[in-house]
Amino acid sequence: MSKTLVVSYLPNSQSVTKKVLDRFLKEAQGKTTVIHRDLLKSAPPVFNETSMTAYQLRGFMGQALSGDHAEAIKPFDTLIDEIAGVQNVVFAFPTHNWSEPGVVKTYIDAILQAGRTIMYDAQGKASGTLKNHKALVIFASGGVYEEGNPRRTIQNAFTFYLNAIGITDVTFAAAGGTLMGPEATEKAIQTANAIVDGFVKRVDQPAQASA
C-alpha cells in the first residue's frame, strides 16, 4: 500500500478546506497509509545564520557537516526524510492574502533544498529528486480566480515549488468562492470533492510523467 503525507495548516474552525480534506481522508481510508504533518501543532523550522550556513556548505559546496551545522540542519532533514518516504503528498490550507499562508511557505522553504531534493549537474542544470511522487493541493478561497487572473497565485506557485523537487504530477482541488454565499460554497466543495475522488482512485498508481 502507498503512503501519503498530509501537510495541513487549517486554523479556521469552520474551514471549507478541512471539509475537502476530510473527504480525502474518508475516501482514502484503507487505500493508502496516511502520515499527518499538522503545521498548527508543529511549525516548520525557519533558517537562522547557523542553519543557512549549513545549507550552503552542504547544498552548494558539497561539504559534510559536523558540530553545530550538523545539528542545525536536522529539523530540515526530518521534514525532507518524511516527504521523501511517501508516494503521495496532500497539502491543505486556506488562501490568505492572495497566497498560501506564510507557515506553508516556510515548510516549502524547508524542503526545497539543494543537495537533498534538488540536484545540480555539472552544467548547473537543476533536477528534483522526488520524481515518483504525486501531489494533491487542496485550498479554499473567498473569491474565484480563473486561469489568467493575476490573483490566481497558488496554482502557479505550487506548480513551481513541486516541479523544482521533481513532482510534476500535481492536482489542484480548489474550492473557490467561499465568500460568495452558501450556495456557491456548496458548489465549490462538490467540485473540489470530485477532484479529490479522482486523485484517490490513483493513489496507488505510479506518478504520471507530466500531469
Residue 129 CA to residue 116 CA, distance in Å, equals 8
Chain-centroid distance of CA 179 in Å reads 24
Residue 170 CA to residue 198 CA, distance in Å, equals 12
59-67, 77-85, 94-102, 115-123 -> range binding ligand FMN (CB under 6 A)? 94-102
| SS3 of residue 33 by DSSP | strand
Neighbouring CB atoms inside 10 A of 180's CB total 14
HSE, side-chain direction, 13 A CA sphere, residue 26: 9
The least distance separating ligand FMN from the CB of residue 1, rounded to whole angstroms, comes to 28
* Of residues 180, 168, 167, 196, the one with CA closest to residue 92: 196
Q: Which is nearer to ligand FMN, 69 or 152 (CB)?
A: 152
Q: Which is nearer to ligand FMN, 97 or 123 (CB)?
A: 97
96-104, 121-129, 163-171, 201-209 -> range binding ligand FMN (CB under 6 A)? 96-104
Q: Which is nearer to ligand FMN, 18 or 37 (CB)?
A: 18
Show the cell assigned to 1.
500500500
**Under the criterion CB under 6 A, does residue 15 sit at the interface with ligand FMN?**
yes
**Under the criterion CB under 6 A, does residue 94 sit at the interface with ligand FMN?**
yes
x-or-dash string of contact with ligand FMN, 97-116, rule CB under 6 A: xx------------------
Q: Which is nearer to ligand FMN, 178 or 193 (CB)?
A: 178
Q: Which is nearer to ligand FMN, 33 or 99 (CB)?
A: 99
x-or-dash string of contact with ligand FMN, 142-181, rule CB under 6 A: xx----------------------------------xx--
Report how far apart, in Å, the C-alpha atoms of 166 and of each of 94, 119, 150, 196 are.
Answer: 24, 10, 25, 22
Residue 85 CA to residue 81 CA, distance in Å, equals 6
Q: Which residues bind ligand FMN (CB under 6 A)?
A: 12, 15-18, 94-98, 140-143, 178-179
